Structure 1
């Protein structure tokens, strides 16, 4: 099908577009009543539910020249489900509000639905409804719900001096991938799930591109951390330093990041750094400040065996609240801020 013959959103009615989307979306076992009525009904056997929301805006969070609809759908689901997992909850359902321009190809929209399903289906989360509107740019707003399964929610405020700081997931891949795409050194076709430590474009660099287009969050690690006794946890969406600072301030403690614990991440990012003509310090900066990897940062009592997927990255110290790297003020600053200059 050529671009000239691809159906556009403006060629369909709202009902016709929804009719193409709904069959692609998973319902999930907690869904009692799915799309089609004024609201969905989702079981909450715990008597409580976790709820969070996030929005992706075209040319702010993604660019269509790089990201297919599948990529954006997967990213939207991942960003929200990681927040649910960070509370120690199991994801159950999403509602998705979508703003689309009339000249957007219909297959981009159905691709977005497939991307949502790619992430939600394996964890049993249903996409149970939402809203559809026209606008000048693509906006994807997602609200996600989760089941605590009888556990107390894990907050950012419970870390205690003496706790071990641990992390599950990738660090720096998304930031490195964005830098590569922004520099025009690679395109989305170079994305690969190959070993991010490989010293070539199809490996290390390609995995960074994939890490930006479709970050993979360790969703199962959140509830497992809660079962293992984590004292505090959050989704790292804005960079390790910035989000560690949020945990520190909420808990009233100091947090010290151990640089040696990041050595493996830095090694995996070196192919991207070399491609951009920068060195190891730039790779370290990505690992410390790069956002949108959606890993989980958690504090555990020192006598707890870290659950699968978590690796020690530092320690929790008595206040004042703040973050250091090997006991020193960080040499780099940053992390994502929507309203920074």
Structure 2
């Protein structure tokens, strides 16, 4: 009998551990399991265990964002590990908090799953959530569990403005520049690769599995004086379109100013896809895009890609793009 890495002579034990499912421990056993290793932060006054959590709000205001992830709609277990899914579930919510100019403080998790889901999957998912929370400086403070035919995750993130004014979609002004921070197009390229049955290049595929939003740049952009900001979850053009509509302006993007990384160009060539399509319309990278007054000196993390002018909608080199990005129910 070979040693699988679970411990000497523990192969049978490991197989039994893998076979244990949610139904074996029940609702309250599951709650106890997923809350056992949670670490509070300074803002966590009362964590899991009571009817509700209590989170400190020194600013007097709370930034709140909620997202849902449904198996085979937002993630696939044959494409992503449970740990990857945990990271992504937290990241997409914390990116919303950062886009308001706030700092993530807490996360609440609603978890629905089939009764025969292995507990090892739950453990790995929670580990991913905890790791992403740790990197963002937030804590998991509560949630709920329920039985479901497919894994469904409802994630609510809380944030602290720390005295800043929230950066809204509606603040872009004619004459502002448009700039982004983070990655664009990588997650969409990874999705295209996985959809065709490939698992490499690993760097591209991993961008779809586990995004890396620039959380710290959201509050920094607010401090610099960003007039409007959002995270790129549905695609650069689609999300800038939300800013343009809310602000009553047009956003002109300059194609030559929008970098297409060599790796994406290589993958695009292999798949016969224009990589600029991924950059302009691909979501799930959770980059930040914002508008700033022309006089503001931006750091090296931000790339200027266009300007705010009179009009409506978004243009790339003065023309519309027919494909704008992801939209549910269409």
TM-score of the alignment, normalized to the shorter chain, above 0.5: yes
> Partner of 2:10 in structure 1?
none
Counterpart in the other structure of 1:54: 67
Residues 1:235 and 2:231 are matched in the alignment: yes
Q: Choose which of 21, 35, 38 in structure 1 pairs with 2:48.
A: 35
Matched-pair contact (CA < 8 Å) for 1:40–1:129:
yes
Q: CA–CA distance in 1 between the matches of 2:97 and 2:278?
A: 25
Q: Does 1:209 align with 2:205?
A: yes
Query: Which of 301, 306, 314 is matched with 2:298 structurally?
Result: 306
SS at match of 1:13: helix
Residue pairs, 1:161-200, within 5 angstroms: 161-186=174-199
Q: Distance in 2 between matches of 1:8 and 1:206?
A: 31
Q: Is the 8 A contact 1:25 1:116 kept in 2?
A: no
Query: Does structure 1 retain, via aligned residues, the 8 Å contact 2:18–2:120?
Result: no
State TM-score, norm by structure 1: 0.90
Q: 1:118 Cα deviation (Å)? A: 1.4
Which piece of structure 1 moves more, 9-18 or 248-257?
Answer: 9-18
2:148 equivalent to 1:135: yes
Unaligned runs of 5+ in 2: 1-13
Match of 2:281 in 1: 289
TM-fit CA distance, 1:240? 0.4
Question: Judging changes above 3 Å, is the alpha-carbon distance between structure 1 residues 256 and 6 closer, same or farther for their aligned structure 2 residues?
Answer: same
1:19 to 32, 36, 40: 32
Structure 1: unaligned runs, 5 residues or longer? 187-200
Report the TM-score, using the length of structure 2 for normalisation. Answer: 0.93
Say whether the 8 Å CA contact 1:29–1:126 is kept in structure 2: no
SS at match of 1:12: helix
Q: What RMSD, in angstroms, separates the aligned Cα atoms of the two structures?
A: 1.4
1:338 corresponds to which residue? 328
| Alignment of 1:88 onto 2:78 | no
Q: Does the CA-based 8 Å contact 1:29-1:124 persist in structure 2?
A: no
Partners of 2:189 and 2:129 in 1: how far apart? 24
CA drift at 1:123: 2.0
CA 1:14–1:209: 2 relative to 1, 3 Å: same
Which of structures 1 and 2 has the bigger CA Rg?
Answer: 2
Tell me if 1:146 matches 2:136.
no
Q: 1:2 to 1:334 in 2, by over 3 A?
A: farther
Structure 1 Cα separation of the partners of residues 145 and 291 of structure 2: 40
Aligned residues: 317
Distance 2:54 2:17 in 1: 41
Kept in 2: contact 1:26–1:125 (CA 8 A): no
From 59, 65, 70, the equivalent of 2:83 is 70
Deviation at 1:311? 1.0
Question: How far 1:73 sits from its partner (Å)?
Answer: 0.9
Structure 1 residue 259: deviation in Å?
A: 0.7
**Shift in Å at residue 308 of structure 1?**
4.7
User: Following the alignment from structure 1 to structure 2, what is the Cα–Cα distance between the partners of residues 139 and 325?
Assistant: 37
Query: What is the distance in 2 between the residues matched to 1:12 and 1:268?
Result: 46
1:272 correspondence with 2:279 = no
State the secondary structure of the residue aligned to 2:125. helix
The Cα shift of 1:328 comes to 2.1
Secondary structure of the residue that 2:234 maps to in structure 1?
coil
- Cα distance per residue 1:55-87 (max 9 Å; x no partner): 000011001111221111111101100000000
